[in-house]
């Protein structure tokens, strides 16, 4: 059915030709699909998260109330888990593998190992055509050192995006630097002019190094190729003028809330301008002790509150913090919904997951993870509470998401070949 017939059918009117021509003129192409994963540390209050009722007939829990205006755009999942997160410690082993589901190898650093994350898989496919294959944003710097009590390096607690089983993707936490990377030019021509020379240096060295060192140098060469690719994409794209875009201030944001909102806005803007199609964001590192006492009734650090010991007053604070995260998520989704893209919206072309690698922070429970997905890319329906059978692999959802945004894979980790029907 062509557009004219469709329009006539819909309006029952015949329309004069000149207007129709204008209407039928080439429109902005339907945007590409986008994918983002937003990670919350420290779990959620298990009593106030899940909606009641299954399928389309569900009632949002108080904590999820901010999503009410968006309920047709959101799918709420129950009973997902990562089997690979059972072992290890309470936090690190449930953070670094949030997007891969594989076991996180206990180490203080010498043999880091966890799976390649879903966002990075997506970046290799749908990220190919944007300036940056993916962006990794956060608000806290990775903590230094190792957690001596459990024998895990803090690197695990600070990274959900893994480019290879041994290489985490570092995050940008400064809004202005993130902006510059997304919307500025990547390199000056002088900088670009030395790339050939330095890759020559690296090749000389490659012949000279041992196996492990060559793997390290490979990281450098791979990064170099990524950068060269980026430069060539940048120059092949029409030079858009981003100088009119509102820029975040050069200072660090004054409040936690402002910081979080700015980073989420940047993701929306980057998606809208097609600077990237894949993003991850961490609301905090695992074991984050961020101070949420700016919220009414909350006193103390997030991590300590998450160990609530079933005390009602702490559970109430815990819910309040969870609700705040959901509120920022909802506000981000609203923005995406207000951005038109062809006859759809940016949200229609995106999938945005919000979740955590554990449920109840008190006992670091790794089952029935709190997971939400918003958006309709690839025809995701939304508007339902998908109460899965107990212990459904979370990777089945990752498989669905990847397939919906157009990644041609048939399984992901322990997903099996059956993606979740969403």
Footprint (CB under 8 A) of other proteins, residues 328-347: none
Site for other proteins in 358-417 (CB under 8 A): 362-364
SS3 labels along 321-372: HHHHHHHHHHHHHHHHHHCEECCEECHHHEEEEEECCCCCCCCCCCCCCCEE
- The CA distance from 97 to 91, in Å, is 10
Give the HSE-up count for residue 293: Cα atoms under 13 Å, Cβ half-sphere.
6
Distance CA 135, CA 172 (A): 8
Compute the half-sphere exposure of residue 277: CA atoms within 13 Å on the CB side of its CA: 23
Return the half-sphere exposure (C-beta side, CA atoms, 13 A cut-off) of residue 38: 26
* C-beta of 285 vs 349, nearer to other proteins: 285
Choosing from 8, 47, 223, 411, the residue that interacts with other proteins (CB under 8 A) is: 223
Strand, helix or coil for residue 83: helix
Is 1 exposed, middle or buried, given 0-12, 13-18 or 19+ CB atoms closer than 10 A?
A: exposed
Binding mask of the shown chain, residues 1 to 40, with x at each position contacting other proteins by CB under 8 A: ----------------------------------------
- Tokens found for residue 422: 């969403």
- CB of 161 or CB of 330, closer to other proteins: 161
Nearest distance, CB of residue 248 and other proteins, angstroms = 14
The tokens 């820029």 sit on which residue? 247
Task: Indicate the residue among 52 and 193 with the shorter CB distance to other proteins.
Answer: 193
Q: How far is CA 44 from CA 26, 59, 109, 293, 368, in A?
A: 47, 18, 29, 17, 11
Contact between 266 and other proteins per CB under 8 A: no
Which of 106/334 has CB closer to other proteins?
106
User: Taking CB under 8 A as the criterion, which residues in 145-184 touch other proteins?
Assistant: 145-146, 148-151, 153-155, 158-159, 163, 167-174, 177, 181
Nearest-approach distance from CB 129 to other proteins, in angstroms: 16
Binders of other proteins in range 60-89 (CB under 8 A): 87-89
Which is nearer to other proteins, 174 or 275 (by Cβ)? 174
Q: Which two tokens stand for residue 79?
A: 């009973």
Residue 354 Cβ, how far from other proteins at the closest point, in Å?
Answer: 23
| 175's tokens | 């809004």
Q: How many chain residues are in contact with other proteins, going by CB under 8 A?
A: 86
Q: Taking every pair of C-alpha atoms in the chain, what is the biggest distance, in angstroms? A: 76
142, 276, 319, 395: which one contacts other proteins (CB under 8 A)?
142
Shortest CB 9 distance to other proteins, Å: 49
Q: How far is the CB of 166 from other proteins (least distance, A)?
A: 8
Q: Shortest gap between Cβ of 393 and other proteins (angstroms)?
A: 22
Measured CA to CA, the distance from residue 364 to residue 93 in angstroms comes to 10
Nearest of 286, 259, 281, 93 to residue 169 by alpha carbon: 281
183-222: which residues touch other proteins (CB under 8 A)? 186-188, 190-191, 193-195, 197-198, 201-202, 205, 207-214, 216-217, 219-220, 222
Of 256 and 377, which has the nearer Cβ to other proteins? 256
Find all residues with CB under 8 Å of 81, minimum gap 6, and list them.
366, 367, 368, 369, 391, 392, 393, 394
Q: Considering beta carbons, is residue 51 or 175 the nearer one to other proteins?
A: 175
Question: Which is closer to other proteins, CB of 18 or CB of 210?
Answer: 210
Could you tell me if 179 and 145 are in contact, meaning their C-beta atoms sit under 8 angstroms apart?
A: no
Among 12, 13, 22, 111, binds other proteins (CB under 8 A): 111
Q: Which one of residues 46, 289, 378, 406 is an interface residue with other proteins (CB under 8 A)?
A: 289
Residue labelled with tokens 């009722």: 53
User: Nearer to other proteins by C-beta: 167 or 319?
Assistant: 167
Residue 37 vs 58, nearer CB to other proteins: 37
Minimal distance in Å, beta carbon 352 to other proteins? 22
Closest separation in Å from C-beta 194 to other proteins? 4
């Amino acid at each position: 059915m062509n557009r004219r017939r469709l329009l006539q059918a819909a309006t029952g009117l015949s329309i004069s030709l000149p207007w129709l021509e204008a209407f039928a003129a080439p429109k902005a192409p339907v945007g590409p699909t986008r994918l983002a994963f937003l990670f919350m540390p420290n779990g959620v209050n298990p009593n106030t998260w899940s909606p009641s009722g299954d399928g389309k007939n569900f009632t949002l829990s108080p904590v999820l109330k901010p999503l009410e205006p968006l309920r047709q755009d959101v799918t709420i999942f129950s009973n997902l888990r990562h089997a690979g997160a059972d072992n290890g410690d309470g936090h690190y082993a449930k953070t670094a593998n949030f997007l891969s589901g594989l076991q996180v190898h206990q180490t203080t650093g010498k043999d880091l190992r966890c799976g390649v994350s879903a966002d990075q898989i997506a970046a290799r496919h749908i990220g190919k055509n944007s300036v940056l294959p993916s962006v990794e944003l956060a608000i806290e710097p990775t903590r230094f050192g190792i957690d001596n009590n459990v024998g895990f390096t803090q690197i695990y607690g600070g990274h959900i995006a893994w480019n290879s089983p041994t290489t985490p993707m570092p995050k940008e936490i400064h809004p202005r630097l993130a902006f510059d990377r997304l919307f500025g030019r990547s390199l000056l021509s002088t900088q670009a002019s030395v790339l050939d020379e330095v890759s020559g240096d690296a090749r000389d060295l490659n012949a000279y190094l041992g196996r492990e060192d060559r793997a390290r140098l490979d990281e450098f060469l791979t990064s170099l190729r990524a950068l060269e690719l980026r430069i060539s994409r940048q120059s092949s794209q029409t030079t858009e003028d981003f100088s009119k875009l509102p820029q975040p201030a050069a200072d660090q944001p004054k409040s936690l809330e402002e910081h979080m909102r700015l980073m989420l806005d940047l993701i929306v803007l980057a998606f809208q301008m097609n600077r990237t199609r894949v993003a991850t964001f961490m609301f905090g590192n695992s074991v984050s002790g961020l101070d949420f006492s700016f919220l009414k009734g909350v006193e103390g650090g997030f991590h300590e509150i998450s160990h609530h010991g079933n005390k009602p007053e702490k559970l109430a604070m815990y819910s309040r913090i969870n609700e705040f995260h959901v509120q920022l998520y909802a506000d981000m989704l609203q923005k995406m919904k207000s951005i038109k893209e062809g006859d759809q919206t940016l949200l229609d072309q995106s999938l945005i997951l919000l979740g955590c690698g554990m449920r109840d922070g008190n006992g670091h429970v790794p089952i029935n993870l709190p997971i939400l997905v918003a958006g309709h890319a690839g025809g995701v329906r939304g508007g339902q509470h998908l109460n899965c059978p107990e212990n459904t692999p979370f990777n089945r959802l990752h498989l669905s998401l990847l397939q919906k945004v157009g990644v041609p894979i048939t399984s992901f980790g322990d997903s099996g070949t059956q993606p979740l029907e969403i």
